[in-house]
């Protein structure tokens, strides 16, 4: 029997980390993810975990400590947000290219400047090409479930890539909601022991990790990293299958909500997907065939699968909670439209930049997008594909 609880998204992430009981957690506080290492450090003090907690002096050091711990043969975790992730930047790439399956909770927040502590996805979008697996979470339940699945995916011998679990700062990180927790022993068994094949503290196999890598081999090593990201797709599905056996909760690359017979569809990530579901239900009760595709796995990007899932609709809107400032559209939009183009799927698709810096996303905003989509579905005309939602005029 699962445990009925009510927790904030940050509490849920900290509880998942407690149940995983990693060897090392290294973190530096930054709003809105601060509570995760804060709660976790109490578990360390109380002796409920036997993790080595490293209270570092910066995020650069947090990621460096995780890299050291993971390279040594331990299981390492961290949590951060926005500028904390920016400060890790150099080490983010080193973690993935050293093929170290570190797991991070990223509580999404606007990257400065000017200073803003509220939610958008500019932090995550900044590292989308850094070689990390990226899972997005609609609510506290998904933030928890994704963390429970994280190590099994990241540490798989065909993958060996770091992984971040994203959730929306404040909107889910600081909102108390119902959640179903899994019993400690079940999580422990599901996650399993970390048994790296090669690690620094193995006296029988002295190795060097991350040394100089010039023209002769770096290209080949990058190809291996790219292959690992491709391999991750099957592993993500396999782990989700096992997770469903344990909990009854089903996960895939994305969630299709009333999409099967939809004529108009929204593609988005994290908490806005929940608000969109609420609006879809309302529109459906008025006979409007609205649907939602909620992206869970953003890296690796399930291009072919997304293109197929959207192939039957008449108009699509992709919502980006970060502007790429490229005069063309947000990152998710670019990914979705290129997936559709390559898969010869010509559905009219528009982009809305929204929710920047914590601007609240109302049900009425989402309704407005579906109204726009109805017009596009009728006429096939898109005058300006690069739009804004919720911007004051």
Partner 1 sequence: MNDLIEIRWHGRGGQGAKTASLLLADAAFNTGKFIQGFPEYGPERMGAPITAYNRISNKPITIHSNIYEPDFVVVVDDTLLESVPVTAGLKENGAIVINTTKDAEYLKKVLNGYKGNVYTIDARKVSMETLGKYFPNTPMLAAIVKVSGVMTDQELLDDMKGSFKHKFAKKPEVIEPNMKALEMALQEVKKIQ
Binding site for partner 1 (CB under 8 A): 6, 117-118, 138-139, 168, 170-172, 174-178, 271-272, 274-275, 277-278, 360-363
Smallest distance from partner 1 to CB 321, Å: 12
CB 167 within 8 A of CB 137: yes
**Quick check: bond before 67 cis, omega within 30?**
no
Smallest distance from partner 1 to CB 295, Å: 16
Which CB atom, from 41 or from 361, has the smaller least distance to partner 1?
361
**Which DSSP string do the residues of 310-372 spell out, in sequence order?**
TTT-SEEEEEESS---SSS--HHHHHHHHHHHHTT----EEEEEE-GGG----HHHHHHHHHH
Q: Which tokens hold the place of 372?
A: 């726009």
Which CB atom, from 7 or from 373, has the smaller least distance to partner 1?
7
Smallest distance from partner 1 to CB 289, Å: 19
Sheet harboring 254-257: ordered strands across?
A: 254-257, 290-295, 264-268, 315-320, 349-354, 386-389
Which CB atom, from 70 or from 142, has the smaller least distance to partner 1?
142
CB 63 within 8 A of CB 92: yes
Which CB atom, from 57 or from 364, has the smaller least distance to partner 1?
364
Which CB atom, from 174 or from 188, has the smaller least distance to partner 1?
174
Smallest distance from partner 1 to CB 215, Å: 49
Smallest distance from partner 1 to CB 107, Å: 13
Smallest distance from partner 1 to CB 146, Å: 17
Instruction: Return the number of other C-beta atoms located less than 10 Å from residue 198's C-beta.
Output: 12
Which CB atom, from 4 or from 193, has the smaller least distance to partner 1?
4
Smallest distance from partner 1 to CB 354, Å: 12
Smallest distance from partner 1 to CB 154, Å: 28
Which CB atom, from 132 or from 354, has the smaller least distance to partner 1?
354
Which CB atom, from 64 or from 172, has the smaller least distance to partner 1?
172
CA geometry: angle 118, 119, 125, nearest 5 deg: 130
Which CB atom, from 31 or from 345, has the smaller least distance to partner 1?
31
Smallest distance from partner 1 to CB 168, Å: 8
Q: Among 44, 28, 125, which residue's Cα sits nearest to residue 79?
A: 28
Q: CA–CA separation, 347 vs 209, rounded Å?
A: 47
Q: CA–CA separation, 234 vs 229, rounded Å?
A: 10
Smallest distance from partner 1 to CB 337, Å: 26
Q: Among 308, 314, 384, 383, which residue's Cα sits nearest to residue 340?
A: 308
Q: Among 360, 355, 304, which residue's Cα sits nearest to residue 330?
A: 355
CB 119 within 8 A of CB 106: no
Which CB atom, from 282 or from 305, has the smaller least distance to partner 1?
282
**Which DSSP string do the residues of 104-127 spell out, in sequence order?**
EEEEE-PPPSS---S--SHHHHHT
CB 142 within 8 A of CB 202: no
Q: How far is CA 271 from the centre of its chain?
A: 12
């Amino acid at each position: 029997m699962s445990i009925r609880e009510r927790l904030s998204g940050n509490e849920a992430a900290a509880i998942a980390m407690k149940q995983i009981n990693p060897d090392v957690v290294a973190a530096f506080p930054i709003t809105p993810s601060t509570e995760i290492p804060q709660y976790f450090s109490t578990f360390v003090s109380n002796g409920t975990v036997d993790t080595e907690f490293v209270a570092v002096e910066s995020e650069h050091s947090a990621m460096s400590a995780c890299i050291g711990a993971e390279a040594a043969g331990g299981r390492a975790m961290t949590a951060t947000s926005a500028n904390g992730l920016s400060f890790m930047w150099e080490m983010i790439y080193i973690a993935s290219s050293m093929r170290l399956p570190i797991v991070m909770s990223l509580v999404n927040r606007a990257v400065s400047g000017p200073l803003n502590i509220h939610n958008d996805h500019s932090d995550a979008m900044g590292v989308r090409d850094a070689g990390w697996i990226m899972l997005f979470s609609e609510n506290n339940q998904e933030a928890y479930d994704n963390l429970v699945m994280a190590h099994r995916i990241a540490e798989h011998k065909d993958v060996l890539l770091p992984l971040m679990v994203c959730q929306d700062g404040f909107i889910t990180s600081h909102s108390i909601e119902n959640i179903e927790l899994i019993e400690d022993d079940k999580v422990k068994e599901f996650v399993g022991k970390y048994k790296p094949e090669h690690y620094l503290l193995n006296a029988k196999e002295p190795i060097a990790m991350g040394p100089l890598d010039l023209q002769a081999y770096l290209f080949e090593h990058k190809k291996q990293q790219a292959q690992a990201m491709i391999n991750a797709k099957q592993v993500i599905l396999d782990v989700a299958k096992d997770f469903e056996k344990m909990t009854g909760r089903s996960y895939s690359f994305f969630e299709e909500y009333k999409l099967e017979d939809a004529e108009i569809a929204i593609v988005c990530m994290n908490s806005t997907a929940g608000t969109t579901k609420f609006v879809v239900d309302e529109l459906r009760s008025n006979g409007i065939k609205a649907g939602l595709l909620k992206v869970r796995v953003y890296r690796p990007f399930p291009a072919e699968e997304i293109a197929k899932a959207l192939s039957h609709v008449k108009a699509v809107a992709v919502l980006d909670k970060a502007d790429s400032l490229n005069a063309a559209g947000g990152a998710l939009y670019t990914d979705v439209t290129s997936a559709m183009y390559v898969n010869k799927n010509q559905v009219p698709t528009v982009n809305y930049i929204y929710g920047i810096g914590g601007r609240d996303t109302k049900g009425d905003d989402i309704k407005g997008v579906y109204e726009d989509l109805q017009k596009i579905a009728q006429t096939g005309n898109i005058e300006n594909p690069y739009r804004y939602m919720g911007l004051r005029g």
